[in-house]
Structure 1
Amino acid sequence: MLITKPESILQAVPPAIEFIGLTKKFGSLLANDNVSFAISAGTIHGIVGENGAGKSTLMSTLFGLYKPDAGEIRLNGKAVSIRSPSAAIQRGVGMVHQHFVLVDRLTALQNVIVGSEGRFWLGGKTSACREKVTAIQQRYGLAFPLDATIRSLPVGVQQRVEIVKSLYRDAEILILDEPTSVLTPDEVKGLFHVFRSLAAEGKTIILITHKLQEVLDVTDNVTVLRQGRCIVTTPTNSVTRASLAEMMVGRKVGRISDARAPATGDVKIDVRDLTFRDPSETVRVNGLSFDVHGGEILGIAGVSGNGQTELLSMLAGLVSPSDGNIQLGSLTVTPSQPTSPIKVRASGVAHVPEDRLRHGLVPKWSALENSVLGLQRSGKVAGLGNWIVRSKIAEWCRELMIAHDVRPPDPHRPIRVFSGGNQQKLVIGRELALDPEIILIGQPTRGVDIGAIESIHRKLLAQRQAGKAILLVSVELEEVMDLSDRILVMFEGRSMGELNRDEFDERVIGLMMAGSQRDSAIEQIGGGEG
């Protein structure tokens, strides 16, 4: 039943949150530029924008991580000064960060109450706390075992712990930063149900996301930020995915066509019975077999932490397999015949790692220096050899940045001050400069805005068209479905089966990501429709 409030009451209630002329600078960078808009109580409000648009900065001022340089924030009609996260929590503002703030060795209950337990030790009088947490779990359907350690819980369950932690502190405003990036489709549906339940009780939900379809599916209103400014705040039912994308980037954004010719090239990646055990002898990849042809993109789908990282690491030569065989072009890798990243690269393999800042870039270096990482022996870069000529390398770097739309195209700018999207475009440009036959790419658009996503996707499809074999690992199911010719789904290090492009179905893939074998998942969906 739809319940509406009398118009007189709606007019009398002030917004839960108002940003009035809010400005925040970091040196010469204007992160938020005179931002003004309001968020109504009891609604789900989306915040969207490109990387560097000011979304995270704005929410960080609301949560007390940054102090605005100008303007004000009002909560329930009253101007407030929020100087720290603890002050924000006292005012009823909670935040679930993209990377959870949980202590692995503590239990779920201890993580919920730590910092708010008062004068008693966590191991002491927790019965009242347990009762309150249990009541919150039951009220909103946020089930998890209270006495399990965080490290033992799946990532989707850890997120529930974070949400309950905010609700335990009586949050009336809940900010969630990219909350669905580590969830299966069914877990996303469950999370959205929780959002709606919270909003129905009068709580205000702020959703920061790059996933425009999620904005359309779950939010009541949406604000678009571009270059630090508020472009529009509007009811979500008045916009489309295309119009949101255009407002975010200031131009029309195209979608990838489903039409494509089947792969006809030779097998360039051949993996047989591949297994990897970590130093604690835990099996992370378990008997995996697949191949990838030239002119084909094989997508690896699965919730993060199901062996995808270890798979990429073995293929890139970063770790050796425990069992099985890898064939990368003419290079053979086995436990008794290990390889190295140098040998892999020399065999015509490019690698775009999942975590660009940890494994693809040196944050303290400039774009120039990062643009030639791994190319020292390639002979591809003028000025990089026995004698280093920085002016020639700078010229090469500038041309690379222009070709791959890295903004600004300044080789001497520290890489850490570029947006995530521009960092990623530089890494991809550097790897493609090798003209590889095989491309291993992990999380190609993680933390990347829609404009950069479009650019990256088109470059990958161009490489496919040029006959390259591409192994794509991504937790973004929509991305995997858009780009791939075939999809292999991983769960707990094992293959749940493969799907051809004409078999792609989000519901089927979601069941496979949760542990159902291919045929069983297809049967379950088919039976449900019957």
Structure 2
Amino acid sequence: MDYVIEMLDIRKEFPGVVANNNINLQVQQGEIHALLGENGAGKSTLMNVLFGIYQAEKGKIRVKGQDVNITSPNVANDLGIGMVHQHFMLVDTFTVTENIVLGSEPTKGLKVNIEDAAKDIKKISDQYGLKVDPYALVRDISVGMQQRVEILKMLYREADILILDEPTAVLTPQEIEELMEIMRSLVKEGKSIILITHKLKEIMSVADRCTVIRRGEGVGTVSVNETSTNELASMMVGREVSFKTDKKESQPKDLVLDIQNLIVTDQREVEMVKGLDLEVRQGEIVGIAGVDGNGQSELVEAITGLRKPKDGQILLNNESITYLNPRDVYEKGLAHIPQDRHKFGLVLDYPVAENMVLQTYYKKPFSSGWSLNFKEIYQYARKIIDEYDVRTPSESTLARSLSGGNQQKAIVGREIDRSPDLLIASQPTRGLDVGAIEFIHKKLIEERDQNRAVLLVSFELDEIRNLSDRIAVIYEGKIVANVKPDEVTEEELGLLMAGSNIEKVGES
């Protein structure tokens, strides 16, 4: 068998951690090869070794049958290997073309030849059905389109082995489907793709073979059409995983969150939330379902004090929090799992322990007078780390060093541990593996069962339908329908999210 990539007995260590322990990966020409594992299993580390960001302590890499020594990403590029990282590496203020040619700018005389580069990029974009405007500013295009720019960056450099690291973590369901089509068209043109993911549905939909890693060790490689999601899940986490969350019928009680005629604008003063009404009661999970960009982010930012509304009322336990700052909102009994864990959830260059007390550091027992009680802070952090299975070498490890999923588990633990009256969970399982998703879903239902109000905002329709007692559909800044999960199909929910009214959906 001819392989385009062979990684044999790769061992990569960091201080106190063996990230990859003698792992083997063999990728065939023209296949989509999934690399599956829990958060922190060592998937990204292995691919960073292949891309030359890290050097392995032991092992051998072959590209197209030749032994190679990949000492840097430039060497990887020269070998035809390209990588799209989980967090995109684009300059917001540059155009698509400027981002793509950055570092390998074509010149005409002494000038950078942007026009010819833009023509080449348009040609490649059309060839693979990417539909990217070469002259658009990166800050003005959607996250899904930014990802296409990252893919174009590799294709422009003539990469024929593409590594995609968690490519669907920040995409809407529609963008995910479009990306799958792009991946299929890339392999038809002779490219080979390594897909780092923990989304089993996507592996079953698009991959040919799958290699599973668990806690830094290779578990095995299987052919996708000869396996099942249950088998892959148990290979990944080492036990049976339940995909359905068991929960008893909710018993909603007192009104906790009451939003009346809320109007919220974005940075450009465009109204994104337009006269929205919403209620969430004790003992219920209300899921907000909608296509990204219909006002979800602005709504959550207004409730949590991160954005001042233009008009309307937000009441928490019958008391207005409409114009309070975030600390005062938290003091009133609200907790927030934010959509963007890096921007709003963590201070990446603080230790994990200090991140666990970001909203409570000034209170006893974490503080006395002007000084912080680090013994108490680190003890408290250890409790959350243990309870939420946050995989970190120690409490003093910088938050930046944790995998995305472990950063998320730390935030979820911190917010739930404060026993809030209202928990806002915005994309709570984004970037998590099935074991961690199962765990966090149970925690959210426990919150509900302890008589707390939970507002869930998610682009994952399975998550919305699985967890919610009631679904509020948001479209163009308004709640256009309130439905029970068992009263609508996924297709009907999709139609409501696209603006169809409830009567038409009922007829379909």
With normalisation by structure 1, the TM-score equals 0.86
Which residue of the other structure, out of 153, 162, 167, is the alignment partner of 2:141?
Answer: 153
Please say if residues 184 and 510 of structure 1, whose CA atoms lie closer than 8 Å, have aligned partners that are also in contact.
no
Which residue of the other structure, out of 274, 289, 313, is the alignment partner of 1:286?
Answer: 274
Return the offset for 1:257. 3.4
Which residue of the other structure, out of 150, 173, 196, is the alignment partner of 1:162?
Answer: 150
Residue 415 of structure 2 is aligned to residue 431 of structure 1: yes
The 3-state SS of whatever aligns with 2:107 is coil
Residue 469 of structure 2 is aligned to residue 485 of structure 1: yes
Show the 5 A alignment for 1:450-461: 450-461=434-445
CA distance in 2, matches of 1:166, 1:192: 17
Residue 257 of structure 2 is aligned to residue 269 of structure 1: yes
Which is further off, 266-275 or 483-492? 483-492
The 3-state SS of whatever aligns with 2:3 is coil
Aligned to 1:44: 32
Return the offset for 1:136. 2.5
Show the 5 A alignment for 1:201-280: 201-257=189-245, 260-280=248-268
Identity %: 43
Which residue of the other structure, out of 432, 437, 442, is the alignment partner of 1:448?
Answer: 432
Q: 1:175 to 1:491 in 2, by over 3 A?
A: farther
Residues 119-172 of structure 1 deviation map (CA, whole Å, 9 limit, x = unaligned) = 238986455444433332333222133333222222222322322232222221
Q: 1:490 to 1:165 in 2, by over 3 A?
A: farther
Return the offset for 1:209. 1.3
Please say if residues 85 and 165 of structure 2, whose CA atoms lie closer than 8 Å, have aligned partners that are also in contact.
yes
The 3-state SS of whatever aligns with 2:23 is strand
Show the 5 A alignment for 1:64-463: 64-120=52-108, 125-126=113-114, 128-257=116-245, 260-334=248-322, 338-376=323-361, 382=365, 384-386=367-369, 390-407=374-391, 411-463=395-447
Return the offset for 1:391. 4.2
Please say if residues 54 and 227 of structure 1, whose CA atoms lie closer than 8 Å, have aligned partners that are also in contact.
yes
Residue 138 of structure 1 aligns to which amino acid in structure 2? Answer: D
Residues 70-118 of structure 1 deviation map (CA, whole Å, 9 limit, x = unaligned) = 2121111111222222322222112222233333333334433443332
Q: 1:422 to 1:168 in 2, by over 3 A?
A: closer
CA distance in 1, matches of 2:441, 2:30: 37
Q: 1:367 to 1:117 in 2, by over 3 A?
A: closer
Please say if residues 118 and 135 of structure 2, whose CA atoms lie closer than 8 Å, have aligned partners that are also in contact.
no
CA distance in 1, matches of 2:101, 2:143: 19
Which is further off, 297-306 or 464-473? 297-306
With normalisation by structure 2, the TM-score equals 0.89
Q: 1:498 to 1:161 in 2, by over 3 A?
A: farther
Q: 1:28 to 1:399 in 2, by over 3 A?
A: closer
**Count of equivalent residues:** 507
CA distance in 1, matches of 2:213, 2:423: 34
List gaps (5 residues or longer) in structure 2. none
Which is further off, 212-221 or 143-152? 143-152
Which is further off, 456-465 or 260-269? 260-269
Which is further off, 246-255 or 413-422? 413-422
CA distance in 1, matches of 2:400, 2:152: 34
The 3-state SS of whatever aligns with 2:134 is coil
The 3-state SS of whatever aligns with 1:451 is helix
Please say if residues 82 and 154 of structure 2, whose CA atoms lie closer than 8 Å, have aligned partners that are also in contact.
yes
CA distance in 1, matches of 2:201, 2:269: 41
Return the offset for 1:485. 2.1
Residue 425 of structure 1 aligns to which amino acid in structure 2? Answer: K
Return the offset for 1:411. 4.6
Residue 25 of structure 2 aligns to which amino acid in structure 1? Answer: F
Residue 5 of structure 2 is aligned to residue 21 of structure 1: no
Residues 312-371 of structure 1 deviation map (CA, whole Å, 9 limit, x = unaligned) = 22211233211111111132134xxx2123332232222222333443334444444333
CA distance in 2, matches of 1:448, 1:69: 28
CA distance in 1, matches of 2:257, 2:402: 33
The 3-state SS of whatever aligns with 2:307 is coil
Show the 5 A alignment for 1:512-527: 513=497, 515-519=498-502, 522=505
Q: 1:139 to 1:389 in 2, by over 3 A?
A: closer
Aligned to 1:3: none
